[in-house]
A and B are shown apart, each in its own frame.
Chain A
Amino acid sequence: MNFDYNEEQQLLADSVRRFLQKDYDFEARRKILASPEGWSARVWSQLAQMGLTGLPFSPDYGGFGGGAVDLMGVMEAFGEALVVEPYLATLMGAQLVARAGSAEQKRAILPAVVEGRMKLAFAHTERKQGEKLGVVGAPIADKLVVSSGSRLFLADRADLKMKPYRTMDNMVAADLSFSRDRAEPMPGADQAVAETVDFATALVCAEAVGAMKFACDTTLEYLKTRKQFGVPIGTFQALQHRMVDMVISYEQARSMACLACARVDSAANAAERSRAVSAAKIKIADSARHIGQEAVQLHGGMGMSEELKLSHSFRRLTVAAQQFGDADHHLARFASL
């Protein structure tokens, strides 16, 4: 039993956090959001230089062979800083290639992803056959992995018709239409999708925990500095107890993110893995909603302001609660496993 990151994991998380504090503060992020592209190529290449784009991939392709626990500290740091670059989208696409792609597809794609030269996305959710919805990272991905029926295909972005937009939490995304004609089939399929979605769900849990940490920290700071009736509002018991409940909610959520990441790496079987991931996602969805809403409320009017980072954390938490299935979806899956 050991709940700390190992030395390598801790060093990596610390260096990512330092980089984000220096180069990705709220103002730097605001400029990225204001740009037409909605992401920063410079940031992306720095993430690649730090080894992040290669973390979960085999050393055969230049990666580090890491698992979800190795990524957990990174995702927590991303969640605190609200990174909008489509990191998870690229990892998902590349995981699918690694799990379901042909040898040739792997050689063509994985080293390029590891080196930061290629971004991917995974188009899965559909309105009807051929119409994919809410594909995060699609407008800037070089290639997309697209599910169609029970099969997976690789497509060039240029061959897909897209309607790009920004999500509620300011990620670049698109709805797109897909036909198999211009796409390359991938040999593997079903298991790869289930494994990859569980992997990504565990990482979203960790990322949400990072966003919750920021929301708790900044709200606590606000309670200590904001004065009304001549005293800091944190002296009021009605607010103290709500703050305490937020912190408890955070600790419980973090415990479940640990469970999800650990089980994704080492569950005895798929059912055990999926059950842990669903349990975690239920808790993370509940905590994201609770902490997000309370943080805004305790900030009063300021909590509503676009100018405060908190409102952006709230949006991220709101999306994270629903990403890869909301609490209701995972309650149904949890009970069925």
Chain B
Amino acid sequence: MDLNYSAEEVAFRDEVRAWLAGNLPRDLKEKVDRYEHLSKEDLLRWHRILAGKSWVAPAWPKEWGGTGWNVVQRYIFEEELGYVGAPPLIPFGLAMCAPVLLRFGTEAQKKRFLPRIYQGEDFWCQGYSEPGSGSDLASLKTRAVRENGRYIVNGQKTWTTLAHYADWIFCLVRTDPTSEKRQEGISFLLVDMKTPGVSVRPLILMDGAHEVNEVFFDDVSVPAENLVHEEGKGWTVAKYLLGYERMNTGRIGESKRQLARLKEFSSGKLNDVRFRDRLSRVEVELTALEITNLRFLDRMRRSGQPPGADVSMLKIKGTEIQQALAELMMQAAGEAGSDEFAAALGRRYLSMRKTTIYAGSNEIQRNIIAKQTLGL
């Protein structure tokens, strides 16, 4: 048993860390450090810097721009991105649409979309949730009817993150409302957001931020060539994405950075034993999660098997820790008075409540573990 990275892995981490330290623009880092809103331009600027270094999509096959790193290197890279305090890489194109195209797309689809995703030329969003279909996603109603080589789409998506920035949306749509198994009537469709009939309405969350939206489809005409995989196989595509290697789900690097900052600005409060002990317990949970994460990663590296329901465990613990840290930070900053920083941390506390709800609520994650791991 050896809990440490190998000498090569440490060297790799140091290389990544040094490069990030030298190439993350100071103004972007300061914005992130102050918990300020990041504009589309901020996000794309960092995306393009990484693309320029050929590091924006490490997991992709080499022919499409992947780095050829193994799972441990990819994990280290993602953790370092979190740890340095870089703007987030928006996953909808890089880590969601692209893996789907690589697995199920036609050559033409890959050639058309992948280079633009890589370069940050197309901004993607995800059209899954609907007003009546959240956790029970397979009940979705957005209709796509095939007519003369095109799909006519009608319906509504909701909670669509950054749809107001997006050039494209990948959607789950119902192509066959009569199929006996409702999952079999679903298809995976790529829609240009500029198509007539697509409209976006902001949904403002309790922190005041505009991050998510409603997206309406009103007789939107989509060429049939934008169908991914076969008609009726959309659920297979969606499930593939759920099982995709997402070993960074626990967001250890990001939480380590928040913990370090919390300790930094709450030093006065550490004399309060009650506060200190709560902080220590979160630190212990984070340490445990990091080792758990590495254990899963090590197992995955040896077995070559996808992580399966392990990812659900990382999601549950990772988000609980993120929320606990955000809450402690709000409380610690509140002591200092009502300055801008305290206000930003207050908003952050509000915003972080979403983490246990999005990307499959933690209750859904528990269902997955109960079924897949425990056989219940």
Point out residues on A near B: beta carbons under 8 Å: 1-6, 9, 69, 72, 220, 223-224, 234-235, 237, 240-241, 243-245, 247-248, 251-253, 255-256, 258-259, 261-262, 279, 282-283, 286, 328, 331, 334-335
- Please give the distance in Å from A134's CB to the nearest CB on chain B: 25
- The residue on B at minimum CB distance from A240 is B370
A69 touching B1 in the complex, CB below 8 Å, given contacts A235-B376, A248-B317, A335-B276: yes
Name the A residues within 8 Å of B284 (CB-CB). 256, 279, 282-283, 334
Q: Out of A4, A248, A253, which one reaches B316, CB within 8 Å?
A: A248
Most chain B CB within 10 A, of A1, A4, A244, A279, is at A244
- Contact indicator B369/A247 (Cβ below 8 Å): yes
Q: List 21 A-B contacts (CB under 8 A).
A: A2-B1, A3-B1, A3-B3, A3-B295, A6-B1, A220-B376, A240-B367, A241-B367, A243-B374, A244-B366, A244-B370, A247-B313, A248-B369, A255-B292, A258-B1, A259-B3, A262-B1, A279-B283, A279-B284, A331-B280, A331-B281
Query: Can you name the residue of chain B whose Cβ is closest to the Cβ of A261?
Result: B1
Contacting pair B287 A259 (CB below 8 A): yes
A1: contacting residue among B72, B276, B375, CB under 8 A:
B72
Q: What's the nearest-Cβ distance from chain B to residue A41, in Å? A: 33
Binds A, one of B4-12, B137-145, B226-234, B341-349: B4-12
Q: Which residue of B lies closest to A70 (CB)?
A: B1
A224 with B375: CB separation less than 8 A: yes
Residue of A241, A253, A283, A334 touching B370 (CB-CB under 8 A): A241
Which residues from B are CB-within-8-Å of A234? 376
Q: Size of chain B's interface in residues, with CB distance under 8 A?
A: 38
Main secondary structure of the interface of A (DSSP, over half): helix
Q: What's the nearest-Cβ distance from chain A to residue B375, in Å?
A: 7
Which A residue's beta carbon lies closest to that of B362?
Answer: A241
CB atoms of A243 and B292 under 8 A apart: no
The prevalent SS among residues of B at the interface is: helix
Cβ contacts under 8 Å, B277 to chain A: 328, 331, 335
Q: Which residue on B lies nearest to A6, using beta carbons?
A: B1
Instruction: Tell me whether B294 is interfacial, beta carbon within 8 Å.
Output: yes
Whether A255 contacts B2 in the complex (CB less than 8 A), given A240-B367, A247-B373, comes out as no
Q: Is B1 a contact partner of A255 (Cβ separation < 8 A)?
A: no
Q: Which of B4, B363, B366 has the most CB of A within 10 A?
A: B366
- A248: which B residues are within 8 A, CB to CB? 313, 316-317, 369
Contacts of A328 in B (CB 8 A): 277
Instruction: Indicate if the CB atoms of B3 and A1 lie closer than 8 Å.
Output: yes
Assuming the contacts A243-B374, A248-B316, A282-B281, asked whether A1 and B288 have C-beta atoms less than 8 A apart, the reply is no
Q: Which residues of A contact B5 (CB under 8 A)?
A: 1
Partner of A251 from the list B270, B313, B363 (CB cut-off 8 Å) is: B313
- Which residue among B284, B285, B299 has the maximum number of chain A CB atoms within 10 Å of its CB? B284
Within 8 A of A (CB), among B293-339: 294-295, 298-299, 302, 313, 316-317
Whether B2 pairs with A1 at a CB distance below 8 angstroms is yes
Give the contacting residue for A259; candidates B281, B291, B298; CB below 8 A: B291
Closest A residue to B287 using CB positions = A279
B369 to chain A, nearest CB (A): 5
Query: What are the residues of chain A within 8 A of B276 when measuring CB–CB?
Result: 331, 335
Asked if B153 is at the interface (CB within 8 A of a chain A CB), the reply is: no
Q: In the complex, A13 Cα to B198 Cα: how many Å?
A: 62
Known contacts A331-B277, A335-B276; decide if A237 and B1 are in contact (CB<8 Å). Answer: no
- Which residue from chain B places its CB closest to the CB of A234 in the assembled complex? B376
Q: Which residue of B lies closest to A248 (CB)?
A: B313
A220: contacting residue among B288, B294, B374, CB under 8 A:
B374
Which of B1, B283, B369 gathers most chain A CB within 10 Å?
Answer: B1
Interface string of B350-376 (1 = CB under 8 A from A): 000000000000010011011001111
Residue of A nearest to B293 (CB): A255
Q: Please name the 4 residue pairs, one residue from A and one from B, whose CB atoms are nearest each other, closest first.
A: A255-B291, A240-B370, A252-B288, A244-B366
Across-interface contacts of A245 in B (CB, < 8 A): 366
Q: Give the chain B neighbours of A252 by CB distance below 8 A.
A: 285, 288-289, 292, 317
Closest chain A CB from B282 CB (angstroms): 11
Please give the distance in Å from A183's CB to the nearest CB on chain B. Answer: 39
Other A-B contacts than A240-B370, A248-B316, 17 sampled, CB-CB below 8 A, are A1-B4, A1-B72, A2-B1, A5-B1, A72-B1, A234-B376, A240-B376, A244-B366, A247-B373, A258-B295, A259-B291, A279-B284, A283-B284, A286-B281, A331-B276, A331-B280, A334-B280
Residues of A within 8 A of B375 (CB): 224
Q: A241, B292: Cβ atoms under 8 Å? A: no
Question: Judging by beta carbons under 8 Å apart, are A2 and B370 in contact?
Answer: no
Taken together as a complex, chains A and B put the C-alpha atoms of A283 and B321 apart, in Å, by 14
Closest to B1 in A: A69
Residues of B within 8 A of A9 (CB): 1
- List residues of chain B with CB within 8 A of the CB of A224: 375-376
Q: Tell me, in angstroms, the Cα distance from A247 to B302 when the chains sit together.
A: 23
Q: Give the shortest distance, in Å, between B38 (CB) and chain A (any CB).
A: 32
